Structure 1
Amino acid sequence: MFFSLAGLCLFVYYLYVRHLPRPIPGDIPYNKESARRLWGDTPEIRRAQKTGNFRQFFHDHSAKLHSSITQVFMFPYPKPFVLVTDFREAHDILSKRYREFDRSKRNADVFGTITPEFHLAMQSRDPRFKGNKELVRDLMTPGFLNEVSAVHIYDIATVLVDMWALKAAQAQGHPFSAHEDLHYVALDIILAAAFGIPLEQSVTEKQYEFLQLQPPAMPSPNSKDDPVVYSRAPVPSSRMSLIEVTGTVALAYKSPFPRLHHWLLRKTIWRRTFAEKEAFITNEINKSVERLTSENKQQNRMRCAMDMMLLREMGQAKKESRTPNVNAPRIRDELFGYVATGHDTSSTTLSWITKILADNPSSQAKLRRQLHVAFAEANEENRQPTVVEIIEKPAPYLDAFLEECLRITKTIPSILRETLTDTTILGHAVPKGTGVMIYNHGPGGQLESGFGIPESVRSTTSQDSKDRVGEWNEDDIGQFRPERWLQRKTGAQEYGDAQGEFDELEYNAYAGPFLTFGGGPRGCFGKKLAYMELRIVLAMLVWNFVFEACPPELSSYEGIDTATVVPKQCFVRLKQLL
């Protein structure tokens, strides 16, 4: 008995020692206390989670250790991951050294919980990756975006304008919550782009019709700062299932065992939700196949991303003399991945943008003047700008305003990579198989000046591209200032010397650090679609409304960590212009 107990104690002690954090040899800074305990840095991360923003830990960790490269210990993994906050090093890793770094296995595990056959859930060396990218390669071409995606975006944005015009009239100067409206607008846009869901079936259209019959709950007229509360029309269960399945990624992101944890819940309490999501996709694919194979040429024209993928599969099947596999897992997962990654990111960013508009009235007014200049015919005719005008007319301040919003917003401030070989980061040896987190809102990133880093510790590719991207002024790096993205056109004599306010200006995408969409071969696949969506919705909103300041108690910039960092409060107070 004694020897059995002693053996058990020794085994437990072995497991304890085996799972203690093992710092990477060398001098990459880390929390010494964390390295001496089984839980590593997890207690500090848990404390950050209680505030609703656990990603703040990564900023604070780098600041505390006063270094742009640090080690973080996550229980139950004895190996640390490397945290990088310096923009130049991050840009070098993503864009120049992609043969040394790939998307991390952790990233694949997280997204693989809902879309195992989606290219985002694959590392680049995965044999499936090349075929999947071929399947979706046309979805971000100018032709598809301009002729298909832009029309869907504009239609939904127009309904949002009509709905908010109704709300503004009813609210009579009171603020109202905006996040839910924007959440469903983004969902409707991505479902229309992905599956060709008609406008009349959109959640936004149904909500607009509902509000015309359902008066809001008005607060006391004594205070214009009290928000109006609007009821919501029932949302179809199929749409809710898509939202809920996407939301389960947040659990996987925070879990030490994402695949196992997610699998257990998917087989139990989430079973019906996942089944309903699958039924929705099957139904839409069947409708598309029926339409695309119809003898009616008007019926079988391409309307959405699903059509593009199915036509590609049908064409390939014909070449290979086989039956098309229209329900292939990779087609289904690419479709759902397109929806999942395009929905939350856009809705969250739009929510942050509405707050920025209200809190920067001079920039908002300048943006409106730019729109009136860029879409001069629409302004003279007192009408809405067309979708073609919005996507084709040059408007440098619109580009600058949007880019500054994307720089400031907290939607997804981190990027995950993994080392494919023994390598170095900022002069520090990092072994093969090490996870790397790039946190672009930390010291040395998009919003904060960093620590002095000698050029000699940077890679050759980093040194060679030193001047490719500018640097932000330390005095205003944390402030919202769209002008930082503008420069004089070549040949302009003096800033602002032309007759028009914007005549001698042009947008400079390389003005300073910016990694919101990542970079390199594995940067954000939907970047072009996201820019188009945000540009159209932003232009339509500013054209039609003045966003007035909301009271401080409704204007917090605190974020809530879900799959993205959602603003804790998102209210608007609108004054209609048209």
Structure 2
Amino acid sequence: MAKDLSPADALLAGIDTLPGKSLLAAGGVALSLYLLYRQALPKPLPGIPFDEESAKRILGDVPYLQAMKDQGLAARMFWPEQFDKYGTAVSQYFMGPTQKAAVALGDYREVHDLLLRHGKDLCRGPLVASVWHGVMPAHFIGMEEDNPAFKAAKALGKDLMTPSFLHEVNAPASYQKVLSIVKLWQFKSELAEGRAFDAAVDLGYLTYDIITAAALNIDDNDTQIRKYIRELGELKQPATVPASTTEPAEFPPSELTDMLSALFTIAGASGKAFQVPSPKLFHLFNNRTAKMKKAYHDRDTIIRSYIGDAVRRLQEEGDNFKPTSAMDFIVMREAAAAKKENRAPDFYSDTVVQVTFGYLLGGQDSTHATLSFLVKRIGANQAVQTRLRDTLRKAFPEAWSQRAQPPLQELVKAQIPYLDAVIEEVLRIDPPAVGITRETKKEIKILGHTIPKDTVLFLSFMGPTYTSKGFLPEKTGEALRSESSRSHAGAYDVDDWTKSGYPADEYHPDRWLKESEDGSGELTFNPRAGPFLTFSTGTRVCWGKRLAYLELKLVVTVLVWNFVFERLPENLEDWVYDEDLFMKPKNCRVKLSSAWDV
């Protein structure tokens, strides 16, 4: 019978057997898996450069980021480096099977124009929101502006960046804490016997003390640095001093307070969430660890205890209540909002707790990052440091003649262009954030490329036009810019730092100075000298910008007033980045001597 079957019938008969059915099923599964695999591969946008190898794998560019981390490099430098890799201001990248192609933009004028004039076309997007929602779901930082809770949450901190709060509450609290690190470093310098020592830990303690003093009005004796000084003083051998003068002295770290430990833990979790394809999935598992549970418990418990103190004083003093901390202002805002809405105030809500904690977190870690870069820069640039010290002595001649500290009230009000330039140049060349991400709410054009709706944008704050030459052609590039960008050409002295008189990748505070227009010959600070977006711009400009400048001004003045930051031995000087919530130097050491002797 089999000999009489046609070839087609024979094939069907073979398939109908058990081995044949199994083979067909396996083929179907293989085909389905192949189709799923093809579907999961990145879908590049037309006309925008990308890595062809990344487009051939489901994980896209994620292996590159992991390789950078494995080599001890900052994975976030992946984005600025893409522009040099492709020789373009616009590139695309792929962050895994669930993510669409994302676009990176490395051109100051276009980034500035998008954020400042086209903010309505952009949103934070679910990716960034999920980073913050995982640790502070009730804070406005993880919300879009159209979220009903956004406006109310942001209103709680409305008073915290006003000049009156910064000058009357924040500055005095900060100043006392800065004087504490002077005592710590005088003690450490003596013990180090002329050798360098780590400064990163101490600067972390300092910025924590400064921000908690302003936020919670903590007692001076309860600060981390005062606690550290006491601990070192009780040790028989507080320093390990090597025989070689080119090796650093070692000091044991301080035992962290519960609040500082919670802050470091939550900041670390936030930083890691920025480095993974799925922040939501990361937080889902990470928040279940004992370490994170303790951090959240300590955060909420400690902050609510301070809320209780503020509420008690508000109720006792009534109209005579005088706020002395950020917490006091937040409690007052909640009371006023409740009265206006005809409801009972919810002083202990997650929103009040997390808005307070967000003030602590943002103010501590970003300022810590900048100060770490700053002490390295002034140590490596001795002429800059000497000029700054001379400038400060001329600004406060009476204090210098009396060998006293610069008076706080004079320091807050003083206009010192070179001090502003020294700080601005650190923020330019070593920004705590290399860029930000946004998501398009509609189809837009960027430098001639069509970017679909719901596309993630990485907007760079370093790299081309900031610290290296931009990639838009001089003659034809202008036509590619948006109409609003073209209409604002010339708004800054240069739109690419390689067009200035100073190398873009070098530290030169003078780039921010110009002669006064009154013909006096005096130098003035010029904030519009060239590309600078460290604090972003537009509707989501950094909320703590004024606070950051005030703290940096206070700390830098006092440190340079009291110490000479000597040039480090060659083996200890490097410029390798590390990353946590913000970018920091991998190593931050100082070699100090007394400024009163020079």
TM-score tier after normalising by the smaller chain length: over 0.9
3-state DSSP class of the match of 1:421?
coil
* Correspondence for 1:482 among 492, 497, 509: 509
Q: Distance in 2 between matches of 1:293 and 1:546?
A: 49
Structure-to-structure mapping, 1:214-229, within 5 angstroms: 214=235, 215-220=237-242, 222-229=243-250
Residue 8, structure 1, aligned to residue 35, structure 2: no
User: Given that residues 216 and 228 in structure 1 are in contact (C-alpha distance below 8 angstroms), is that contact kept between their aligned partners in structure 2?
Assistant: no
3-state DSSP class of the match of 1:315?
helix
Q: Deviations over 1:403-431 (max 9, x none)?
A: 00111114211111111111111111101
Residue 336, structure 1, aligned to residue 363, structure 2: no
Deviation at 1:27, TM superposition (A): 1.1
Partner residue, 1:284: 306
Structure-to-structure mapping, 1:452-467, within 5 angstroms: 452-453=472-473, 454-467=477-490
Partner residue, 1:549: 567
User: Given that residues 468 and 498 in structure 2 are in contact (C-alpha distance below 8 angstroms), is that contact kept between their aligned partners in structure 1?
Assistant: no
Partner residue, 1:540: 558
**Structure having the higher Rg:** 2
Deviation at 1:441, TM superposition (A): 1.7
Structure-to-structure mapping, 1:240-251, within 5 angstroms: 240-251=261-272
Residues 548 and 321 of structure 1: is their aligned pair in 2 closer, same or farther, counting only changes over 3 Å?
same
Partner residue, 1:576: 594
Q: Distance in 1 between matches of 2:301 and 2:317?
A: 26
Q: Distance in 2 between matches of 1:78 and 1:7?
A: 27
* Correspondence for 1:134 among 155, 175, 179: 155
Q: Distance in 2 between matches of 1:295 and 1:123?
A: 37
Total equivalences in the alignment:
565
Q: Distance in 2 between matches of 1:263 and 1:110?
A: 11
Q: Distance in 1 between matches of 2:123 and 2:214?
A: 29
Q: Distance in 2 between matches of 1:152 and 1:425?
A: 46
Letter in 1 for 2:92: Q
Q: Distance in 2 between matches of 1:395 and 1:193?
A: 24
3-state DSSP class of the match of 2:316?
coil
Deviation at 1:295, TM superposition (A): 4.1
Q: Distance in 2 between matches of 1:174 and 1:296?
A: 55
Q: Distance in 2 between matches of 1:247 and 1:291?
A: 34
Partner residue, 2:470: 450
Deviation at 1:36, TM superposition (A): 2.4
Partner residue, 1:43: 63
Deviation at 1:209, TM superposition (A): 2.3
Partner residue, 2:213: 192
Partner residue, 1:273: 295
Q: Distance in 1 between matches of 2:415 and 2:160?
A: 23
* Correspondence for 2:38 among 7, 17, 32: 17
Deviation at 1:263, TM superposition (A): 2.0
* Correspondence for 2:197 among 144, 163, 176: 176
Partner residue, 1:162: 183
Partner residue, 2:3: none
Q: Distance in 2 between matches of 1:552 and 1:267?
A: 44
Residue 372, structure 1, aligned to residue 393, structure 2: yes
Residue 234, structure 1, aligned to residue 255, structure 2: yes
Q: Distance in 1 between matches of 2:405 and 2:511?
A: 29
Deviation at 1:4, TM superposition (A): 4.0
Deviation at 1:280, TM superposition (A): 1.7
3-state DSSP class of the match of 2:104?
strand
Q: Which moved more, 1:238-247 or 1:356-365?
A: 238-247
Q: Distance in 1 between matches of 2:319 and 2:227?
A: 30
Partner residue, 1:563: 581
3-state DSSP class of the match of 1:416?
strand
Q: Distance in 2 between matches of 1:107 and 1:11?
A: 33
Q: Distance in 1 between matches of 2:528 and 2:238?
A: 46
Q: Distance in 2 between matches of 1:310 and 1:78?
A: 41
Letter in 2 for 1:460: E
Q: Distance in 1 between matches of 2:324 and 2:32?
A: 62
Q: Deviations over 1:212-258 (max 9, x none)?
A: 333432424x5322222222332223321222122111221122221
Deviation at 1:329, TM superposition (A): 2.1
Q: Deviations over 1:280-334 (max 9, x none)?
A: 2222212221232234998x42111111111111122233443210012221121
Letter in 1 for 2:31: L
Letter in 2 for 1:532: L
Unaligned runs of 5+ in 2: 1-21
Letter in 2 for 1:483: D
**TM-score for the superposition, normalised by structure 2:** 0.91
Unaligned runs of 5+ in 1: 498-503
Which is richer in helix?
2
Q: Deviations over 1:97-130 (max 9, x none)?
A: 1111222321111111111121111122222222
Q: Distance in 1 between matches of 2:498 and 2:399?
A: 37
Residues 223 and 426 of structure 1: is their aligned pair in 2 closer, same or farther, counting only changes over 3 Å?
same
The percent identity for this pair of structures is: 34
Q: Distance in 2 between matches of 1:320 and 1:102?
A: 29
Letter in 1 for 2:488: S
Structure-to-structure mapping, 1:385-400, within 5 angstroms: 385-400=406-421
Letter in 2 for 1:335: T
User: Given that residues 435 and 459 in structure 2 are in contact (C-alpha distance below 8 angstroms), is that contact kept between their aligned partners in structure 1?
Assistant: yes
User: Given that residues 433 and 461 in structure 2 are in contact (C-alpha distance below 8 angstroms), is that contact kept between their aligned partners in structure 1?
Assistant: no
Coordinate RMSD, CA, aligned: 1.8
Partner residue, 1:110: 131
Q: Distance in 2 between matches of 1:413 and 1:550?
A: 26
Letter in 1 for 2:300: E
User: Given that residues 139 and 305 in structure 1 are in contact (C-alpha distance below 8 angstroms), is that contact kept between their aligned partners in structure 2?
Assistant: yes
Residues 33 and 229 of structure 1: is their aligned pair in 2 closer, same or farther, counting only changes over 3 Å?
closer
Q: Deviations over 1:150-180 (max 9, x none)?
A: 1111111010111111222222211111100
Structure-to-structure mapping, 1:65-80, within 5 angstroms: 65-80=86-101
User: Given that residues 90 and 438 in structure 1 are in contact (C-alpha distance below 8 angstroms), is that contact kept between their aligned partners in structure 2?
Assistant: yes
Partner residue, 1:512: 530
Residue 313, structure 1, aligned to residue 313, structure 2: no
Q: Distance in 2 between matches of 1:224 and 1:136?
A: 49
